[in-house]
Structure 1
């Protein structure tokens, strides 16, 4: 169990990278912007890739009635996610230490992985709901009002993952360093369970 406990500690600790690196990035490309506008989404807030990106995105959104990019105080997620991630990282490290000394079985590692996977799915579901609200809850007094073939207001929802054409912009939405560290950490915890299980079976 020493090897699996050590791997569990490393995997759990990788989640702490989410406090330093962005989880997701949304980038907007258009002919009038030689340098694309981008925003990095962290677990505690949203920042522009460049100094004035958020200001420019808010300016564009104003014309079509979209809300401003939320600040940490505007969304409960930015207060809750750091607590959840920090708690799961500490919990996983404690499990790894207990496993290191043979105090628990590797099934705890699998349980941690399943719980973290469920939290990740819920997080992505919540993120997608925010994108839907962000792209569809438009100000009826907007300067520019565009409708589809049925006369319904256009949706400006960025894609959850991938690229999508929105008017003359192309929106790109992809995971960033924080997400890759989280995925790597979760994979290592699965490896820790596998090594621990094999040790018991042997």
Structure 2
């Protein structure tokens, strides 16, 4: 293997390592990009009451407070207990409590004047939970019969730490393995942003088409806006990528470039032999 081919393989590995750093960032950098109310200048609104982080029960310390879901329909979706769990320290990073915001949805309405709500009612879709004004958004959703945000993709959010572990093992193997099927070790993790968009769209559809009779305002089932601006009743919605999604796009670009560069280098090496 000549020096030129070695340099290209080295470049491929560097790109993969950069992708791994971005991927790790999406799992750990929530404190850097955490939402702060521009009026109150505090951190996430009512974080103590936000129970959207619901890891598997075996990850939660004994003695953690919990309560039963208030409705039978929620029990079917969320299980027997809702844990009031906000981990701290290194363990919070380990089990996925610090994942970055991937998508942002904000809502504007006449009853939320810009002076008091310059960002409207923003919520952020992280990989393992929701953040921002979750309780306010749930109150609004309740009026149209929509389930609380906490029920959305709960199993998917619970498995994220294990998905990330698998992806990191795949990428470490990608750095060294050059046998049959090596490309898949880089390609599968690369497509994480598109996996996310697919599941995000699926769950928006589920929320909009599973309206409950408790809503004070009766509206027809609808598809919430995935990307861009939309309108539901008197509410204007804005749905756009948050910083974490751009990190994932960076992962995609870096890994695809890495795979293409390595494939050409290995092909040239095989031809030379």
Which structure has more strand as a fraction of its residues? 1
Counterpart of 2:135 in structure 1 is 55
Change (3 A) 1:123 1:193: same
Contact map agreement 1:61 1:67 (CA 8 A) in 2:
yes
Change (3 A) 1:154 1:79: closer
Shift of 1:89: 2.8
Counterpart of 1:130 in structure 2 is 203
Q: Write out per-residue CA displacement over residues 112-169 of structure 1, whole angstroms, 9 at most, x where no aligned residue.
A: 34323555544332222211121221122322223xxxxxx242x4211121111221
Contact map agreement 1:106 1:192 (CA 8 A) in 2:
no
Shift of 1:71: 5.9
What is the TM-score of this pair, normalised by structure 2? 0.60
Show the 5 A alignment for 1:1-202.
1-19=9-27, 20=29, 21-33=100-112, 34=114, 35=117, 36-48=120-132, 53-70=133-150, 75-96=154-175, 98=176, 104=178, 108=182, 110-116=183-189, 120-146=193-219, 153-155=220-222, 157-200=223-266, 201=268
Question: What SS does structure 2 have at the residue aligned with 1:76?
Answer: helix
Question: What SS does structure 1 have at the residue aligned with 2:149?
Answer: coil
Distance 1:31 1:64 in 2: 17
Change (3 A) 1:192 1:154: closer
Structure 2, unpaired ranges of 5+: 1-8, 30-99
Q: Write out per-residue CA displacement over residues 43-94 of structure 1, whole angstroms, 9 at most, x where no aligned residue.
A: 111111xxxx21211111222211112168x710111123213321332133
Distance 1:37 1:190 in 2: 36
Structure 1, unpaired ranges of 5+: 147-152
Distance 1:22 1:135 in 2: 22
Shift of 1:193: 2.0
What is the TM-score of this pair, normalised by structure 1? 0.79
The total of aligned residue pairs comes to 184
Distance 1:122 1:3 in 2: 27
Distance 2:140 2:242 in 1: 24
Contact map agreement 1:113 1:186 (CA 8 A) in 2:
no
Deviates more, 1:26-35 or 1:36-45: 26-35
Q: How well do the aligned residues superpose, as a CA RMSD in angstroms?
A: 2.5
Looking at both structures, which has the greater relative contact order when contacts are Cα pairs under 8 Å and sequence separation is at least 6? 1
Question: What SS does structure 2 have at the residue aligned with 1:70?
Answer: helix
